[in-house]
Amino acid sequence: MYKSSFRKRLQSACSWFQKSFWRTGAVKNQAISLEYQAARRYTTRNRPIGPLERIIMRQHGPWGILASTEVYRDPWIRLVKDDVVRPDGQPGTYCVAHLKPGVSVLALDEQQNAYLTEEFHYGVARTTLETASGGIDSGETPLVAAKRELHEELGVTARKWTDLGTVDPFTANVVSPTQLFLAQDLSFGKPQPEGSELIRCLKVPFADVVKMAMDGRISHAPSVALVLKVGRLLEC
């Protein structure tokens, strides 16, 4: 009983100490406290985890986190490397890329035509067909971001919105939940792409869009999930 309470206090003290320093910005991309450095020495030397590490370790499911270091950050991507104790008790490292949460929107008109984007995507280095997709800006709700992206990329505004849930493109090494929307009752304006975007709008009968998702012509996973979800809902 006493031991557990002592451990909790020490943990909360460590956590306060760490947070305060992060907040003040005194130390930015470095794990700072002496305990953390000790822990890092242990993990890098591949030694078994000692009693001090057990105390300062932050539990993360079956994993223990001894130290977190921000390896890289820009407005789109943040890479964090953790020194960890694996579920089997062995030391190791685990690196996670954090991206902005995102939205994907399928715009569907009354004649069951869908509106897709055709755009060169930097990562996969080819032109892909996708539903209108983008990141949620700070302060935006997913719905506001969805409305903005649909207008920016396709010049479309919609009066009827259906939330089709969230998908996680990855669950292990990348964090970027993507909320899916069906947009109906459309009106059309002029697209306003950002400087880095060259987007062509494609009007395709929805039945063909489903075929494209099935045969791989649409490969962007959130778009595939969204199209097939809508296909099931509309039974087409």
Interface positions with a copy of itself (CB under 8 A): 60-63, 71-72, 74, 76-77, 79, 81, 86-88, 90, 92-97, 99, 120-128, 130, 165-178, 195-198, 210, 213-216, 219-222, 224-225, 228-229, 231-232
Classify burial at 80, counting beta carbons within 10 Å of its beta carbon; exposed 0-12, middle 13-18, buried 19 or more: middle
Q: What gap in Å lies between CA 228 and CA 27, rounded to an integer?
A: 47
CB of 4 to a copy of itself, least distance (A): 23
Strand partners, 130: 117
| Between 93 and 113, CB nearer to a copy of itself | 93
CA pair distance 6, 144, nearest whole angstrom: 46
Q: Compute the least distance from the CB of residue 127 to a copy of itself, in Å.
A: 7
Q: Which is nearer to a copy of itself, 154 or 210 (CB)?
A: 210
Nearest distance from C-beta of residue 75 to a copy of itself, angstroms: 10
Shortest Å distance, C-beta 183 to a copy of itself: 19
Is residue 206 within 8 A of residue 218, CB to CB? The reply is no
Pairing mode, strands 178-188 and 102-108? parallel
DSSP-derived 3-state class of residue 86: coil
Smallest gap from Cβ 194 to a copy of itself, in A, equals: 9
Instruction: Write down the least CB distance from residue 162 to a copy of itself, Å.
Output: 13
CA dist., res. 43 & res. 84, Å (int): 8
Quickly count: other Cβ atoms within 10 Å of residue 143's Cβ.
Answer: 15
Q: Provide long-range contacts, Cβ within 8 A and 24+ apart, for 4-8.
A: 7/55
The amino acid at 99 = L
| Nearest of 202, 209, 198 to residue 231 by alpha carbon | 209
